[in-house]
């Protein structure tokens, strides 16, 4: 049996929310499987993100990575991060990377909550990494 390579990754992002009527709306994004071609049972799953996020670059703080990724995936800047809230979501999956090698990904996604500033419209520009976006109550 061939040993599959394991890769550990950290991504940073935020759950984006905006006031709406008597509550809040949260941004949901459908992934386009941009970085990896998922294999096995993972290949059939529709992946819904709870907010934009992406890989942390060397010498970058977690929050700086989150802000860069949010801007790159939605065109939104100037978000108010809730400093009292952050959680790590950990999961694993098998995939084929850009070099067409099988790899087992052990992913940690660091998320904050980030509020759209007053006066922002909830219209966003999504990156090619996503198929669609919607604001959900």
pLDDT tens figures, 8-54: 989 999 999 998 888 899 998 887 655 556 666 665 566 667 788 88
The CATH number of residue 56's host domain is 3.90.79.10
Q: What is the pLDDT of residue 22?
A: 80
* pLDDT tens track for 92-127: 888 887 666 888 889 999 999 999 877 777 778 888
Q: What is the pLDDT of residue 16?
A: 94
Range of the domain at 32: 5-136
Q: What is the pLDDT of residue 59?
A: 92
- Angstrom distances, CA of residue 53 to CA of 20, 108, 133: 23, 11, 14
- Angstrom distances, CA of residue 102 to CA of 2, 38, 95, 130: 10, 10, 6, 23
CA distance 29 to 23: 20
pLDDT class for 1, splitting at 50, 70, 90?
very low
Q: Say how many CA atoms lie within 13 Å of 130 toward its Cβ.
A: 23
The burial of 79, by beta-carbon neighbours within 10 Å (0-12 exposed, 13-18 middle, 19 or more buried), is given as buried
Q: How many domains does the chain have?
A: 1
Rounded average pLDDT over 81-89: 90
């Amino acid at each position: 049996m061939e040993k599959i390579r394991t890769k550990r990754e950290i991504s940073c992002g935020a759950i984006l929310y905006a006031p709406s009527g008597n509550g809040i709306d949260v941004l949901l994004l459908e992934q386009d499987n941009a970085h990896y071609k998922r294999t096995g049972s993972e290949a059939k799953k529709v992946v819904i993100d709870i907010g934009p996020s992406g890989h942390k670059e060397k010498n970058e703080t977690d929050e700086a990575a989150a802000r860069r990724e949010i801007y790159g995936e939605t065109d939104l800047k100037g978000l108010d991060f809730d400093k009292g809230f952050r959680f790590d979501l950990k999961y694993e999956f098998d995939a084929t990377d850009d070099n067409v090698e099988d790899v087992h990904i052990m992913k940690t996604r660091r998320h904050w909550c980030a509020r759209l500033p007053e006066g922002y419209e909830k219209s966003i520009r999504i990156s090619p990494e996503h198929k669609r976006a919607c604001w959900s109550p």
